[in-house]
C-alpha cells in the first residue's frame, strides 16, 4: 500500500525518520492510528450536549433520525458549529482583553515593562473611535482607548454595536449586519448567549442558531481587531523586515529558545530580556549567545515586529524538539500540542508554560504576570540557559533548511509602499491596477495545518496557481508560516511565479518603495488576529470605490484549517461578504440545511459564502472563478 506523504516540508521529512528511530510519536503517527475517524463526528451529527445522550443521527436514514430529546440532524449540526464559533471568539477575544487591560495599566502608569511604542497609531485609533484625542496627554488617550475597547466586553445595551466592529467595516456592511441582528454589542455576552441558546431544549431552528453563530463570529472579529491594533500601539506597527524561516534557523552554538502560542505580551519581553542576557549564555558555553525563534502565531507576532526567524508552523511543532537543539519551548496560549512534553522527555528541552489557564502535565510552569513581566522573562531565559548545559550534542540534528522571508506587511506598511507611487492618494495605484486587470483580485490565505492534508501542500499549490492568474496574495497565521518556510515570501518567488502583469505591479511598487526589485509574492500580514489587517486594506479599497465588501474581487482561503478559531474567522469572513474557501471537509455535512445555509443562503444574505474543496487545484480554479464573477459584477 502506498503511503500518503505527510508533508512537503523538507525539514520535517528530514526529521521524521529520526523521530521514528528515537521512538518519538508524532502528530502523524497519532493521526494514522485514529483512522478511520468516527463517521458521525465527521458529519457533525453526534450530540453530547446533555447526558441523555450521546445521541447520533443515522445519515443513511435507516436508524434514528432524532436524538432522545427530539433534536434532528440540523439542530445538532448547527448547535455544534455555533459552539465552535463561540470557542473561537472566546480565544481571540480573551487574548484581546489581555492586551487592552495591559494598555489600561500603561495608561495608569503601572506595568513598567510596557510602554506606548507607537503614539501616532494610538492617536489614529482614538480618532477612529471618536475619542477626540487632540490636545490630550498620551497616557490619557491610552486609558480612553483601552476603556473604549473594554466597553466592547461589558456594554449591556443590545442596540449599541461594539465600537471596534462599527468603526472597522464599511457603513453599508454595518447597516446590513445591524438589520440582520448579528452585530455584536458585547463580545462576552454574545459568547455566553451562544452557550445559552444551544443548551438542551433551547434554540432548535438551525437557521436561527446559525445567525447566533454569525454574531459570535463577528464577536471574534471584534476581539481580533482590537488585539491587533492595540498590540501595534504597545509593540510597534510592523514594517517590512527580512528574516528567515524553517528549522534551519536553529543554531548549534546558541541557547535556542522557541516562543510558541499566540500572545505577544510575554514573547516581546522575552526578546527584550534575552538581548541583555547574551553574555550569560556565552558563559554557559553558547558561543552564539541566545537565539530566539518563533512557532505558530507568537512566532508570527515577533517575526512581524522584530524579524525574529520562524522555526515552523503548527503541524511540525514537535519537530522543533526532535532537532535536539531547542533548549526551551516557551508556550502561552492556543495551538500548543499537549504532546510536546512527551516528545521533550526524549530530549533535554524544557517545555515552559506561562499562563495560569494553560498548564501541561510534565511542563515547567513559570507564571507570567504583566506587572512583573521582566522577572518572569528573566527566569525563563535562565531555565533555558541551564537546559542548554544539559544538551546532548549527539542528539542534535538541525536540518539544513531555511528560506529567506520578507515579513512585516501591516496595512500601514502597504500604504506606505504605495504612497511612494502616489503620495496624495496611495490607494490609487492599487485600485487602478485592479480596475485595469493587471491585478485580477486579492486573496487572503489564513488558518492552520491539518494532518488531513499534506502539510503546506494545499497552500503552495493554490498560491502558485493564483500567482499565475495575477492575484495579489496576503497571508496570516500558519498559512503565512507555510509561505515563509517555502520561500514564497521572497522577491525571487515573484520573479518565478507571478503572472506578467502582477509581476509588473509588484515590481513598480517594490522599486518605488526602495526595494531593489519587486514586493514578495505573498505578503506576510501577521498572526491570526492580524487577519483584521487584511480587512483594513479591503475596507479602504471598498470605501474608495464606494461599494461594499461583497462587491470586491476579494477571496479568502483556509486550505488546511483545523481550529475553532479558524471556524470563527472563516465565518466572519463570509459574514463580511467574502467568498471563503476551506480545504478540509467541515463537520457539518450531516445537515443539508446547514450546508446549504453556509454555501448558498449566505450568498443571498451576506454576499459572502463558503467554498468547500479539498483538491487544491480545483480550489484555485474556484477562487479564480469567484474573483472573475466579482469583476464582472463591477463591470471591470
Ligand atoms: Ni493563530 S489557529 S494553528 S497558530 S493558524 Fe496556526 Fe495561528 Fe491555526 Fe493555530
Ligand atoms: Fe441527545 Fe438531545 Fe441530549 Fe443532544 S441534547 S445529547 S440530542 S438528548
The span from the first CA to the last CA of the chain, in angstroms, equals 50
**Reading across the β-sheet that carries 350-353, which strands appear in turn?**
364-365, 350-353, 326-331, 255-261, 290-295, 310-312, 241-245, 403-407
Q: How far, in Å, from the CA of 589 to the mean position of ligand 2? A: 19
DSSP letter string, 413-436: HHHHHHHTT-SS-THHHHHHHHHT
Residues with CB under 6 A from ligand 1: 262, 296-297, 314, 334-335, 447-448, 477-478, 527-528, 563, 565-566
Residues with CB under 6 A from ligand 2: 47-50, 52-55, 67-69, 71, 76, 200
Q: Rounded distance, CA 507 to CA 492, Å?
A: 11
Q: Rounded distance, CA 527 to CA 508, Å?
A: 27
pLDDT at 611 over 80: yes
Q: Give the residue numbers of the binding site for [4Fe-4S] cluster.
A: 38, 46-47, 50, 55, 69
In a 3-state reduction of DSSP, which class is residue 609? strand
Grid coordinates given for 230 = 492595540
Give the pLDDT confidence score for residue 133 in this predicted structure.
Answer: 98
pLDDT at 351 over 80: yes
Q: How far, in Å, from the CA of 88 to the mean position of ligand 2? A: 23
Residue nearest to atom 9 of ligand 1 (CA): 335
Q: How far, in Å, from the CA of 482 to the mean position of ligand 1? A: 12
Q: What are the domain boundaries of the chain? A: 73-235, 247-395, 407-634
Q: Give the residue numbers of the binding site.
A: 38, 46-47, 50, 55, 69, 262, 297, 335, 448, 478, 528
Q: Rounded distance, CA 47 to CA 55, Å?
A: 5
Q: How far, in Å, from the CA of 477 to the mean position of ligand 1? A: 5
Q: What is the CATH number of domain 407-634?
A: 3.40.50.2030
In DSSP terms, 442 is beta-bridged to 472, 554
Q: State pLDDT tens for residues 229-244.
A: 999 999 999 999 999 9
CATH 3.30.350.10 is held by the domain 247-395 = no
Q: What is the CATH number of domain 73-235?
A: 1.20.1270.30
- Nearest ligand by distance to the CA of 66: 2
Q: Rounded distance, CA 464 to CA 617, Å?
A: 10
Q: Rounded distance, CA 71 to CA 200, Å?
A: 9
230: left (phi over 0), alpha (psi -120 to 50) or beta: alpha
pLDDT at 378 over 80: yes
Q: How far, in Å, from the CA of 339 to the mean position of ligand 1? A: 16
CA-wise closest residue to 76 among 91, 62, 93, 58 = 58
Q: Rounded distance, CA 210 to CA 602, Å?
A: 10
Quick one: three-class SS letters along 153-164? Answer: CCCCCCCCCCHH
How high does pLDDT run on average in the chain?
97
Pocket test for ligand 2, best of 48, 52, 57 (most atoms within 8 A of CB): 52
Share of residues in the chain with pLDDT > 90 (%): 99
Share of residues in the chain with pLDDT > 70 (%): 99
* Site of grid cell 463561540: 86
Q: How far, in Å, from the CA of 383 to the mean position of ligand 1? A: 27
Give the pLDDT confidence score for residue 1 in this predicted structure.
Answer: 38
Grid coordinates given for 223 = 476581539
Q: State pLDDT tens for residues 567-587.
A: 999 999 999 999 999 999 999
Element (H, E) at 471: strand 471-476
In a 3-state reduction of DSSP, which class is residue 405? strand
313: left (phi over 0), alpha (psi -120 to 50) or beta: beta
CB 555 within 8 Å of CB 620: no
Element (H, E) at 445: strand 441-445
CB 304 within 8 Å of CB 526: yes
Element (H, E) at 329: strand 326-331
CA-wise closest residue to 167 among 476, 536, 414 = 536
> Average of pLDDT values for 591-600?
98
Domains 247-395 and 407-634 share a fold: yes
Give counts: helices (H), strands (E), the chain: 27, 16
pLDDT at 424 over 50: yes
Q: Give the residue numbers of the binding site for [Ni-4Fe-4S] cluster.
A: 262, 297, 335, 448, 478, 528
Q: State pLDDT tens for residues 320-337.
A: 999 999 999 999 999 999
Pocket test for ligand 2, best of 64, 68, 202 (most atoms within 8 A of CB): 68
Q: Burial, 391: exposed, middle or buried (Cβ in 10 Å; 0-12, 13-18, 19+)?
A: buried
Grid coordinates given for 203 = 434554540
pLDDT at 367 over 60: yes
Residues whose CB is less than 8 angstroms from the CB of residue 316 and which lie 6 or more positions away in sequence, other chains included? 7, 9, 11, 12, 247, 449, 455
Confidence of residue 387 (pLDDT cuts 50, 70, 90): very high
Pocket test for ligand 1, best of 311, 528, 583 (most atoms within 8 A of CB): 528
> Average of pLDDT values for 455-480?
98
Q: How far, in Å, from the CA of 442 to the mean position of ligand 2? A: 43
CB 523 within 8 Å of CB 476: no
> Average of pLDDT values for 8-12?
98
Give the pLDDT confidence score for residue 96 in this predicted structure.
Answer: 98
Strands (E), 149-263: 241-245, 255-261
pLDDT at 2 over 60: no
Q: Rounded distance, CA 473 to CA 521, Å?
A: 7
In a 3-state reduction of DSSP, which class is residue 50? coil
Q: Rounded distance, CA 117 to CA 97, Å?
A: 19
Q: Rounded distance, CA 301 to CA 481, Å?
A: 11
Give the pLDDT confidence score for residue 3 in this predicted structure.
Answer: 55
Q: State pLDDT tens for residues 467-479.
A: 999 999 999 999 9
Grid coordinates given for 573 = 469572513
Kindly give the pairing relationship between strand 255-261 and strand 290-295.
Answer: parallel
Q: State pLDDT tens for residues 13-52.
A: 999 999 999 999 999 999 999 999 999 999 999 999 999 9
CB 352 within 8 Å of CB 330: yes
CB atoms within 10 A of CB 636: 13
CB 553 within 8 Å of CB 442: yes
CB 341 within 8 Å of CB 359: no
Residue nearest to atom 2 of ligand 2 (CA): 69
In a 3-state reduction of DSSP, which class is residue 33? helix
CB atoms within 10 A of CB 150: 18
> Average of pLDDT values for 424-453?
98
Q: Rounded distance, CA 466 to CA 460, Å?
A: 10
Confidence of residue 148 (pLDDT cuts 50, 70, 90): very high
* Site of grid cell 501577521: 526
> Helix crossing, 564-575 with 206-235: angle to 10°?
100
CB 67 within 8 Å of CB 80: no
- ipTM reported for the complex, 2 dp: 0.94
pLDDT at 223 over 50: yes
**Ligand 1 atom with the shortest distance to the CA of 529:** 1
- Nearest ligand by distance to the CA of 74: 2
Amino acid at each position: 500500500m502506498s503511503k500518503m506523504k505527510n508533508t512537503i516540508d523538507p525539514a520535517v521529512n528530514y526529521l521524521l525518520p529520526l523521530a521514528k528511530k528515537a521512538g518519538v510519536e508524532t502528530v502523524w503517527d497519532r493521526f494514522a492510528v485514529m483512522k478511520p475517524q468516527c463517521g458521525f463526528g465527521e458529519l457533525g451529527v453526534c450530540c453530547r450536549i446533555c447526558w441523555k445522550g450521546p445521541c447520533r443521527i443515522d445519515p443513511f436514514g435507516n436508524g434514528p433520525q432524532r436524538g432522545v430529546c427530539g433534536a434532528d440532524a440540523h439542530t445538532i449540526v448547527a448547535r455544534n458549529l455555533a459552539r465552535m464559533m463561540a470557542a473561537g471568539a472566546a480565544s481571540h477575544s480573551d487574548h484581546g482583553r489581555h492586551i487592552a487591560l495591559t494598555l489600561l495599566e500603561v495608561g495608569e502608569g503601572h506595568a513598567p515593562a510596557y510602554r506606548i511604542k507607537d503614539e501616532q497609531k494610538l492617536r489614529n485609533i482614538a480618532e477612529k473611535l471618536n475619542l477626540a484625542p487632540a490636545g490630550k496627554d498620551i497616557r490619557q488617550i491610552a486609558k480612553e482607548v483601552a476603556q473604549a475597547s473594554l466597553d466592547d466586553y461589558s456594554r449591556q445595551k443590545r442596540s449599541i454595536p461594539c465600537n471596534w466592529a462599527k468603526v472597522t467595516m464599511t457603513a453599508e456592511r454595518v447597516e446590513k449586519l445591524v438589520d440582520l441582528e448579528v452585530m455584536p454589542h458585547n463580545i462576552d455576552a454574545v459568547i455566553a448567549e451562544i452557550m445559552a441558546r444551544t443548551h438542551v431544549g433551547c434554540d432548535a431552528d438551525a437557521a436561527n442558531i446559525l445567525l447566533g453563530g454569525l454574531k459570535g463570529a463577528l464577536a471574534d472579529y471584534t476581539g481580533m481587531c482590537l488585539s491587533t491594533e492595540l498590540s501595534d500601539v504597545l509593540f510597534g506597527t510592523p514594517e517590512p523586515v527580512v528574516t528567515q524561516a524553517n528549522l534551519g534557523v536553529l543554531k548549534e552554538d546558541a541557547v535556542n529558545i522557541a516562543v510558541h502560542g499566540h500572545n505577544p505580551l510575554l514573547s516581546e519581553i522575552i526578546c527584550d530580556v534575552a538581548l541583555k542576557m547574551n553574555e550569560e549564555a556565552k558563559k554557559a558555553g553558547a558561543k552564539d549567545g541566545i537565539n530566539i525563534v518563533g512557532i505558530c502565531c507568537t512566532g508570527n507576532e515577533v517575526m512581524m515586529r522584530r524579524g525574529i526567524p520562524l522555526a515552523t508552523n503548527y503541524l511540525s511543532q514537535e519537530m522543533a524538539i526532535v532537532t535536539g537543539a531547542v533548549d526551551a519551548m516557551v508556550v502561552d496560549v492556543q495551538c500548543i500540542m499537549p504532546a510536546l512534553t512527551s516528545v521533550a522527555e526524549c530530549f533535554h528541552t524544557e517545555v515552559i508554560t506561562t499562563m495560569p489557564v494553560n498548564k501541561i502535565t510534565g511542563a515547567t510552569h513559570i507564571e507570567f504576570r504583566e506587572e512583573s513581566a521582566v522577572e518572569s522573562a528573566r527566569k525563563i531565559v535562565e531555565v533555558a540557559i541551564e537546559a542548554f548545559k544539559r544538551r546532548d550534542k549527539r542528539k542534535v540534528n538541525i536540518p539544513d533548511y531555511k528560506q529567506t522571508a520578507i515579513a512585516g506587511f501591516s496595512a500601514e506598511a502597504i500604504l506606505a509602499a504605495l504612497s511612494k507611487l502616489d503620495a496624495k492618494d496611495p490607494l490609487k495605484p492599487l485600485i487602478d491596477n485592479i480596475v485595469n486587470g493587471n491585478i485580477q483580485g486579492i486573496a487572503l490565505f489564513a488558518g492552520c495545518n491539518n494532518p488531513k492534508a499534506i502539510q503546506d501542500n494545499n497552500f503552495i499549490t493554490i498560491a502558485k496557481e493564483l500567482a499565475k492568474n495575477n492575484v495579489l496574495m496576503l497571508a496570516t497565521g500558519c498559512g503565512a508560516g507555510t509561505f515563509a518556510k517555502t520561500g514564497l515570501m521572497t522577491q525571487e518567488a515573484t520573479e518565478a511565479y507571478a503572472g506578467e502583469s502582477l509581476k509588473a505591479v509588484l515590481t513598480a511598487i517594490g522599486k518605488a518603495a526602495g526595494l531593489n526589485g519587486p514586493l514578495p509574492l505573498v505578503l506576510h500580514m501577521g498572526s491570526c488576529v492580524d487577519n483584521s489587517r487584511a480587512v483594513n486594506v479591503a475596507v479602504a479599497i471598498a470605501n474608495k470605490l464606494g461599494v461594499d465588501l461583497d462587491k470586491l474581487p476579494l477571496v479568502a482561503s483556509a486550505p488546511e484549517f483545523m481550529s475553532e478559531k479558524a471556524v470563527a474567522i472563516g465565518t466572519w469572513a463570509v459574514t463580511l461578504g467574502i467568498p471563503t474557501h476551506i480545504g478540509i471537509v467541515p463537520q457539518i455535512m450531516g445537515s443539508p440545511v446547514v450546508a446549504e445555509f453556509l454555501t448558498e443562503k449566505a450568498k443571498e444574505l451576506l454576499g459572502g459564502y463558503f467554498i468547500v474543496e479539498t483538491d487544491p487545484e480545483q480550489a484555485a480554479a474556484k477562487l479564480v472563478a469567484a474573483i472573475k464573477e466579482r469583476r464582472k459584477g463591477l463591470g471591470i
